Amino acid sequence: MTSATQRTAPPRPETAEVPPSPAGPQPTYLDAADEILARITDGLCTPGTRLTLTYLTRCTDYAATDLRLAMEHLAGTDAVEAVKERWYVPDDRPDGYTARRAAQLLGAVIGQGAYPPDTRVPVREELARILLATPADVNQALDLLAGRGVLRFSSRARPRVERLPGGLPAEQWPQRLLAIAREDPTRQRLSAPFSRPDIQATRDAALQRWRYGTCLPARDMTWQETLQHDVLARVARKAYDRADQQFPQQDPRLREAAARAMACRDLPTVGVPLHERLYRFAVLATALADLANALATPARYGSAPRR
């Protein structure tokens, strides 16, 4: 007899091969990293902007813990720059770029007649406000314009305008206001905010976006630029009517704000990055608010230009 140990075991029933279990879901912080990287790649964050947890929490649906891990992950891949536990959008613009941009805009403002020859430009703090530039950029911009013969320095801190760098003659700036007001006379006006508080609210929103380095998507930016163009056309008509009632030099606030708005309007919007369009939008929004404030004050008659 065959012993029990020698018996052949019965064959096992055939079973289908069990597939390997799928990998678990991607960690939440990696999803957050993908969303942040997409915003940077799409140009919605301006170069050099600091990415704070407060901002990231506001623009995403992720918790601060996941966002911190996401930023550490992106810093490890060089997708963001980490400096002393702070994260920044990479900035590959050449050195001196922002100073040259400020110089270009200030030169255009002077060229539109904001500051006639032999008058002084505003103090550096005011220039930093209207150019959205740092004090260091303002100083470099003034040096660049002095090197081109547009400004001249004296023993005082505020340089004087030496000559206008192209553009319109200083005494003809109101005529361009009229030309802007008459553009596309058959085009139906949009429902653009036109009251002074609305213009100021638009400026505040634009400056907040600039401060946090958050751009609008291209389609939304185009729409806002269209509304801004419409507001400028309306304000330009009122500014021209005011200037037409007096000598241009007798209302320097109006002249400066109008010239700044016209110069900002000329900045390009096609073929430029979103962050440059945001810069244009913010400086023009500031100029429009200043122009609306100048129009809200009584006209000044018989006053000499400020020197």
195-221 pLDDT, tens digit per residue, is: 899 999 999 999 999 998 999 999 999
d(CA 269, CA 210): 16
Mean pLDDT of 166-181: 87
Distance, CA of 223 to CA of 202 (rounded, Å): 13
Share of the chain above pLDDT 90, in %: 65
Summarize the confidence of residues 299-305 as an average pLDDT.
51
For the segment 122-129, the average pLDDT, to the nearest whole number, is 96
Q: By the 8 A CB rule, do 193 and 201 touch?
A: yes
pLDDT for residue 186 is more than 70: no
Distances (CA, A) of 297 to 15, 87, 137, 290: 89, 44, 32, 11
Contact call for residues 36 and 56 (beta carbons, < 8 A): yes
3-state secondary structure at position 161: strand
Q: Judge contact between 150 and 162, C-beta under 8 A.
A: yes
Per-residue pLDDT at 13 exceeds 70:
no
Rounded average pLDDT over 17-25: 51
pLDDT > 70 in the chain, percent: 83
Residue 7: the pLDDT is 47
155-159, 161-165, 235-239: least confident range: 155-159
CA-nearest of 105, 121, 117 to 159 is: 121
Measured from the Cβ of residue 207, the count of other Cβ atoms closer than 10 Å reads 17
| Residue range 30-51, pLDDT digits in tens | 999 999 999 999 999 999 999 9
Name the one residue in this structure whose structure tokens are 């200043």: 290
Mean pLDDT of 182-201: 72
Nearest residue to 239 (alpha-carbon basis) of 180, 302, 162, 155: 180
Q: Please tell me the pTM assigned to this model.
A: 0.83
pLDDT at 183: 82
| pLDDT on residue 184 | 64
pLDDT of residue 172: 86
pLDDT band (50, 70, 90) for residue 15: very low
**Lowest model confidence (mean pLDDT) among 11-15, 86-90, 230-234, 249-253:** 11-15
